[in-house]
Structure 1
Amino acid sequence: MLEKISVDDAVRSLRPDFAALLMTAEGLANAPSDSESTDWLRIAGDGAARAEDHPHVAAWQEAYRGFGAKPKRTRPSVDALLRRAEALPAINRVVDAYNAISVEYVLPVGGEDLDGYLGPARLVRAVGDEVFDTVAGGESVVEHPEPGEVVWRDDEGVTCRRWNWRQCTRTRITESTKNALFIFERLEPYSLETLREAAGELAVRLRTITPEVRIETRLIGPGAE
């Protein structure tokens, strides 16, 4: 699975400094949020950086402008989370774990249900006719990305719009998720060492949730072996 995930050359040309650390976690036993996972959120929120002060948030805002998005209207995921740090929502144990890591490490972290995928994940610039299933006004709707927008997609359609802004409903992690993909996304000046540290800490928490979980990782981009 991991070896088939790719970043298109059109995205690499836009941001040559982009690196993604990919992690699969198989055999998860997810569950509703509990005191431990809400503590992860609380501790992350208590120590959260100010979004407007952090160079990694600024780098992501610049990347959004690079493909025509307005980062104050549709914020990069880590920017949006940091601005909600005082009241991070509890979703379920696995989502709480990776949202807390995202805030603690000032790093976009996406979580996807692997069993919802059709074909491998790849980061591309959209044509504009791709399918993106989401919810608006409490109703299920289908949207389409803007031409040139950076999106994660599979064979079925877009799994996350505007790089890391909003994921589709089809691949979101729920309490019944057994196999997950996590995507840690980095731009300079964020260090690869800190990127790997964040992934390692999420692995620790996933093993707290499910001791027998099977974890594999792969780095894509600058610094990959």
Structure 2
Amino acid sequence: MPEQTAPETTPENFLAACSVDPSVLALRPDYRAMLLVVDGLEPGRAAGEGSAHGDESAVGEGSAAIDALVARAEEHARTLLAGSPVEELPHIAAWRDAYRAFGAKPQRTRNSLEALTRRAGTGLPRVNALTDVYNAISVLHQVPLGGEDLVAYAGPARLTRATGDEPFDTVANGEAAIEHPDPGEVVWTDDAGVTCRRWNWRQGRRTALTDTTRTAFFIMDALEPMGDTALDSAADALTDALAALGDGATVVRRRVGAA
């Protein structure tokens, strides 16, 4: 099995090696991704562990900030859904078209933004501090957004079309399982296998974020009509929200895809 990303690999080097295959851009020439690596996180601060410096007040502040962010996202979803069916929201509609382009049925496998927006109307799922933050930012800025533990990566992230042989470490019927993508499916991979299926539908178990994650890798997926300014704003909002989970955390980011 390929070795995991070496500790000495810098965020800059990791991001520089990430790529989008031309076969994906042939499907959607307007596709762009904002990639962010955030180092120095302390997600346990919002899970009741206090800060690395012993500041117990940081626990309550971090947790309260996340609760407020999630509440804002839920209210934003309710406002959006009061004015339009979820499948007609502009960015969600664009992602439905993208799914059809590689053979997926958006009614059965919803892109992550649509799935979250539907759920946010009645309450977002609460998973862990990092996941709760990026789910809320996804809904607030209407952009598919995934987060993973960079230490669990084996080599750089690549968006490509699957051969169908790549392993995908997931859970099926409550049990750990290895699945394989459909041939031609758009997937994020590293050297060890698929990290996210169907562009932004389901992330794998191997690279999942936890309360012990210290270096996180985030992917924001954009199609027209979402412009670069809106994508940058979403990245800024994620960076600001993560400030509650790490004093002095550093952020490196890179846009890939369409020029």
Which range, TM-score by smaller chain?
over 0.9
The alignment status of 1:78 with 2:107, answered yes or no, reads no
TM-score when normalising by structure 2: 0.84
Unaligned runs of at least 5 residues, structure 2:
1-13, 48-62
Report the counterpart of residue 221 of structure 1 in structure 2. 257
Deviation readout 1:170-193 (Å, 9 max, x if unpaired):
001110111111111100111110
- Please tell me whether the aligned partners of residues 65 and 244 of structure 2 are also in contact (alpha carbons under 8 angstroms): no
Report the counterpart of residue 103 of structure 2 in structure 1. 68
In 1, distance between residues paired with 2:107 and 2:130?
28
In 2, distance between residues paired with 1:137 and 1:221?
35
Report the counterpart of residue 159 of structure 1 in structure 2. 195
User: Which residue, 69, 75, 83 being the options, matches 1:40?
Assistant: 69
Larger Rg: 2
Alignment root-mean-square deviation, CA: 1.1
Report the counterpart of residue 56 of structure 1 in structure 2. 91
In 1, distance between residues paired with 2:194 and 2:67?
30
Report the alpha carbon displacement of residue 35 of structure 1 after superposing the two structures with TM.
Answer: 3.1
Deviation readout 1:34-91 (Å, 9 max, x if unpaired):
3321221111011112322311100000000000000110100000000001210111
* Aligned sequence identity (%): 50
Deviation readout 1:138-194 (Å, 9 max, x if unpaired):
100110000000000000000000000000000011101111111111001111101
Report the counterpart of residue 57 of structure 2 in structure 1. none
- Please tell me whether the aligned partners of residues 38 and 90 of structure 1 are also in contact (alpha carbons under 8 angstroms): no
In 2, distance between residues paired with 1:52 and 1:159?
26
Greater share of helix residues, 1 or 2? 2
Report the counterpart of residue 25 of structure 2 in structure 1. 12
Amino acid at match of 1:7: V
Report the alpha carbon displacement of residue 117 of structure 1 after superposing the two structures with TM.
Answer: 0.4
- Please tell me whether the aligned partners of residues 135 and 141 of structure 1 are also in contact (alpha carbons under 8 angstroms): yes
Report the counterpart of residue 222 of structure 2 in structure 1. 186
Report the alpha carbon displacement of residue 222 of structure 1 after superposing the two structures with TM.
Answer: 2.9
Deviation readout 1:76-133 (Å, 9 max, x if unpaired):
0000000001210111221111100000011000101100100100000000010001
Amino acid at match of 2:69: W
Report the alpha carbon displacement of residue 136 of structure 1 after superposing the two structures with TM.
Answer: 1.1
Count of residues paired in the alignment:
223
Unaligned runs of at least 5 residues, structure 1:
none
- Please tell me whether the aligned partners of residues 81 and 103 of structure 1 are also in contact (alpha carbons under 8 angstroms): yes
Amino acid at match of 2:36: M
User: Which residue, 183, 198, 210 being the options, matches 2:246?
Assistant: 210
SS of the equivalent of 1:44 reads helix
In 2, distance between residues paired with 1:52 and 1:74?
13
TM-score when normalising by structure 1: 0.96
In 1, distance between residues paired with 2:114 and 2:197?
15
